[in-house]
Chains A and B, each alone.
Chain A
Amino acid sequence: MKRGPLSWLVLALAVFALAFVVLAPMWLVGTSSFKLPREIINRVPTWFPHSFTLQHYQKLLQTSAFPTYFLNSVLVAASSAFVTVILALMAGYAFFRLEFRGRDFLYRLIMVAYAFPSIVILIPIYLMFAKVGLIDTDLALVLVNVTFALPFSIWMMRTFFASLPRELEEAAAIDGAGRWKTVVHVLIPLLRPGIAAIAIFAFVASWTEYLFASVLIISDAKRTLPVGLSGIIGQYQIDWGLLLAGASLSVLPVIVFFAFVGRWFVAGLTEGAVK
């Protein structure tokens, strides 16, 4: 379709506005983490730094267990993503490739999972996990994170399964491949974009989770990034420089990570649908 100059202008404005809304806060936080404390809290803030210092980063890395928090978060998020993908694949196959009584009912039941206010189950889960010795373990967080990521992941699976023509599986079956072989050699490779999208969704969901991590984890050495950072915020003082450095350092690796896998997430969600 041809686009007139007015239409280009509207589009350009809209793109600029979107970019500003998303990027301007990032820019301010990132650049300000290099400013001297005085400039950070100045009544007249600056878009471009007038001073430069690495003191906030030095303080962050020297006095806090930031790298530990970071590694814990990566470990928990990666494990949660892995388990979510496996379980979502299992459930997805059952829901979208098999026929059995109660299928629709169960599928709907799973979507209802989000209706449970997480605050409600916080304490019962704590007491339950305490009984089985899961308090202060990464496994506890993985279990909770998978619980919250799974229903939506299963819903996303629907589109991916729907986009795969059944003929492929049928052809494989006719060729004599068993069900298991068909799944491993035909279905899973074709589902790859979807799997990537779900993995990233689950990773981000647990990467950002705060409430359960704050209560289920006790020792400093096992804290995840959000909880560790909230500790640095402190009760009686706010060291904005330190916090902005912490904010920047906790976002930067995800940006790098996303630079590699981000297109899979978007592609996984959008491309699967075009066919």
Chain B
Amino acid sequence: MASKPNSSGRSDDRRIAVLLLALPLGLLAATLIVPMISAINISLRDIRVIGSDGPFAGFDNYARVLTDGTFWHALGISVVWVVGNAVVQTILALTAALVLNEKFPGVRVARVWIILTWIIPTVVVVIIWRWLLSPSGGMVNPLLIQLGIIDRPMGFFASGPAAMTSLILINSWRWFPFVAIMLLAGLQRIPNDIYEAAAVDGAGAVARFRAITWPLLQPTLLVLTVMGTLLSFNVFDIIWLLTAGGPAGGTETLPVLIYETAFKAYRMGDAAAMSVVASVLMIGLALVLLDRLAPKETGR
């Protein structure tokens, strides 16, 4: 380590690192790894109602879960959910970030208050949108009719695709400002003189975006995509509270299916097996994606 001129630096570093990391890593191990091990144990047993015990079943639960269509169906729904959220949020957030990166009267205020929707608890988001989308007092239907987009009230959760679209938009409404602020931070890291040089060279706004903004924003975007993918894959409450996976399984993502299997169908063993498979998939995905970022991460 450079800050210590003497040579004892490295072993010293190691000792301090152990001390410093014991607590954060210990907490994560206790609240993530230990429960995960317990979940693996359950997944190998024929356990029905949570808390009861069951005989060892080997990989029976895995075999049943993986050969059953519902698991793959839910995985497919999850992919749609994750990709939909990623696309919608990235577009909205990037637009917002580009706008907020400009100079206009009130931009300082806007940069703070764009975040408003992110600080609302999910339950409140659900209340707000259930009401806004309902035909009894909701504003969205009349507004869309006024704008001539639809000619009579529509059901925003009436079919699988409609419900999925509504859910993605609602979830994105809540999350895009946060992503926007993160992207804004990334944008501000791009030195102004690059743009000025490009402007002098006669590059238009679109050309500047393609040549400078987009490539230089990549690292931030990549991390946010990884995080966003993992976080939105895990989203449970907003789906559960708005559609509970319906209609007709149209929004039944993997976490919803796992919850239903555990607490509605009372097949804890199956639910645990699905969980383990889902975790393995997610961890694999995370490692692959992070591997591409990691070298730049801890280094300087």
Within the complex, are A and B direct neighbours (CB within 8 Å)? yes
Q: Interface residues, chain A, CB within 8 Å of chain B?
A: 1, 7, 11-12, 14-15, 18-19, 21-23, 25-26, 28-29, 32, 40-45, 47, 87-88, 90-91, 93-101, 103-104, 106-108, 110-121, 123-125, 127-128, 143-144, 146-147, 150-152, 154-155, 158-159, 162, 166, 169-170, 173, 179, 182, 204, 207-208, 210-211, 225-227, 229-230, 233, 240, 243-244, 246-247, 250-251, 254-255, 258, 262-263, 265-266, 269-274
Asked if B215 is at the interface (CB within 8 A of a chain A CB), the reply is no
Give how many A-B residue pairs fall within 8 Å (CB-CB).
Answer: 295
Asked if B119 is at the interface (CB within 8 A of a chain A CB), the reply is yes
Q: Indicate which residue in B20, B104, B185, B283 contacts A90 across the interface (CB closer than 8 Å).
A: B20
- Residues of B near A162 (CB, < 8 A) are 300
- Residues of B near A44 (CB, < 8 A) are 142
Q: Indicate which residue in A106, A116, A265 contacts B282 across the interface (CB closer than 8 Å).
A: A116
> Would you call B1 and A265 a contact (CB within 8 A)?
no
Instruction: Describe B's contact surface by its main secondary structure.
Output: helix
Q: Which of B169-193 contact A (CB under 8 A)?
A: 173, 177, 181-182, 184-186, 188-189
Indicate whether A119 sits within 8 Å of B20 (C-beta atoms), given known contacts A162-B300, A210-B123, A250-B124.
no
Q: Interface residues, chain B, CB within 8 Å of chain A?
A: 1-5, 9-10, 13-14, 16-18, 20-21, 23-25, 27-28, 30-32, 34-36, 38-39, 42, 50-51, 95-96, 99, 102, 104, 108, 110-124, 127-129, 131-132, 135-139, 142, 173, 177, 181-182, 184-186, 188-189, 195-196, 199, 205, 223, 226-227, 230-231, 233-234, 236-237, 241, 254-255, 258-259, 262, 268, 272, 275-276, 278-279, 282-283, 285-287, 290-291, 294-295, 297-298, 300
A107, B24: Cα distance in complex, Å: 11
> Would you call A266 and B181 a contact (CB within 8 A)?
yes
How distant is B68 from chain A, measured CB to nearest CB, in Å?
18
- Residues of B near A94 (CB, < 8 A) are 16-17, 20-21
In the complex, the chain B residue whose C-beta lies closest to that of A171 is: B3
Q: Indicate which residue in B10, B34, B113, B124 contacts A124 across the interface (CB closer than 8 Å).
A: B34
> Would you call B31 and A15 a contact (CB within 8 A)?
no
> Would you call A43 and B31 a contact (CB within 8 A)?
no
- Residues of A near B120 (CB, < 8 A) are 208, 251, 254
> Would you call B258 and A120 a contact (CB within 8 A)?
yes
Indicate whether A112 sits within 8 Å of B283 (C-beta atoms), given known contacts A123-B50, A226-B121, A229-B127.
yes
26 contacts between A and B (CB under 8 A): A1-B196, A15-B99, A15-B110, A18-B110, A18-B114, A42-B137, A43-B135, A90-B24, A91-B24, A99-B1, A107-B298, A111-B290, A112-B287, A115-B283, A117-B234, A117-B278, A121-B32, A121-B39, A125-B31, A125-B35, A144-B31, A150-B24, A173-B5, A207-B119, A208-B122, A273-B185
> Would you call A258 and B234 a contact (CB within 8 A)?
no
- Residues of B near A271 (CB, < 8 A) are 188
A261, B232: Cα distance in complex, Å: 27
- Residues of B near A100 (CB, < 8 A) are 10, 13-14, 17-18
A106, B298: Cα distance in complex, Å: 10
Closest 5 A/B residue pairs (Cβ)? A124-B35, A120-B275, A115-B282, A124-B38, A121-B35
Q: Indicate which residue in B112, B114, B124, B236 contacts A229 across the interface (CB closer than 8 Å).
A: B124
A208, B114: Cα distance in complex, Å: 17
Q: Indicate which residue in A26, A87, A114 contacts B227 across the interface (CB closer than 8 Å).
A: A114
How distant is B168 from chain A, measured CB to nearest CB, in Å?
15
> Would you call A98 and B17 a contact (CB within 8 A)?
yes
> Would you call B121 and A210 a contact (CB within 8 A)?
yes
How distant is A117 from chain B, measured CB to nearest CB, in Å?
5
> Would you call A119 and B3 a contact (CB within 8 A)?
no
How distant is B93 from chain A, measured CB to nearest CB, in Å?
11
- Residues of B near A210 (CB, < 8 A) are 121-123, 237
> Would you call A147 and B27 a contact (CB within 8 A)?
yes
Indicate whether A40 sits within 8 Å of B3 (C-beta atoms), given known contacts A115-B286, A117-B278, A128-B35.
no
